[in-house]
Chain A
Amino acid sequence: QKEVEQNSGPLSVPEGAIASLNCTYSDRGSQSFFWYRQYSGKSPELIMFIYSNGDKEDGRFTAQLNKASQYVSLLIRDSQPSDSATYLCAVRYLTGGYNKLIFGAGTRLAVHP
């Protein structure tokens, strides 16, 4: 059973701080990793994807991947109240020639002024 685990939170950070969101996965053969943001009552939207070990930066967001530890994280610098949402980690794997994503349950982030 392939699994993706996230702390459900809520993770509460003050405005301007760094928010750190973590995700672990069970399938060592997984190749691609995605972070989605989901506002309450809305559909998920992609923030970043990463497939190489190390860091990938995009504006205030940094994704970090450590395949040896089966660990992927998302850092949000200078957190804003508008960043308050649920962040979903997703892991891609191949089965029978089909690409599938497995999603974690998400971490709820609350940024307070």
Chain B
Amino acid sequence: DGGITQSPKYLFRKEGQNVTLSCEQNLNHDAMYWYRQDPGQGLRLIYYSQIVNDFQKGDIAEGYSVSREKKESFPLTVTSAQKNPTAFYLCASSGTSGAASYNEQFFGPGTRLTVL
């Protein structure tokens, strides 16, 4: 089955620790995205990548880092510099063709991060 997987589903972190969230897709999509969702709010873009070895900061990149060494993988590291990291993290992927339908973003199941 094609899709996006994220792991772990739940993650607990102590203050001052870096943690890495995994995102893998087998949809052959070029573009991948990381979003953060806080209770009662919409999705805010952290980082995005349209091609291997290239990525761009989104609206709330401070305290986060990413890499894109493989087309299928786009891991997100939440660093100790992120002041309020407790949130629901969503990874998405999409095609990059000009057709509107190819801009549909498919989402993984999410990782819920809690800082203790």
Using a CB–CB cutoff of 8 Å, the interface residues on chain A facing chain B are: 4, 8, 31-32, 34, 42-46, 49, 51, 88, 90, 92, 96, 98-106
The main secondary structure of chain A at its interface with chain B is: strand
Closest A residue, CB atoms, query B94: A99
Q: Are A43 and B110 in contact (CB under 8 A)?
A: yes
Mark B73-116 against chain A: 1 for CB-CB distance below 8 A, else 0. Answer: 00000000000000000100010100011011111111000000
Determine how close the nearest CB of chain A comes to the CB of B83; give it in whole angstroms. Answer: 21
Beta-carbon contact of A51 and B100 below 8 Å = yes
Interface size on B, residues (CB 8 A): 25
Closest chain A residue, CB of each to CB of B108 = A43
Q: Roughly how many angstroms separate A83 CA and B90 CA in the complex, as a whole number?
A: 22
In the complex, which residues of chain A have a beta carbon less than 8 angstroms from the beta carbon of B42?
4, 88, 103-106
Bound CA–CA A101/B44 (angstroms): 9
A48 to chain B, nearest CB (A): 10
Check if A31 sits within 8 Å of B109, measured CB to CB. Answer: no
Residue contact A44 to B43, C-beta cutoff 8 Å: yes
Q: Which residue of A lies closest to B106 (CB)?
A: A46
What CA separation (Å) do A106 and B48 show in the bound complex? 22
A44 in contact with B100 given A98-B50, A100-B48, A105-B42 (CB within 8 Å) = no
- B45–A100 CB distance below 8 A: yes
Min C-beta distance of A105 to chain B, whole Å? 4
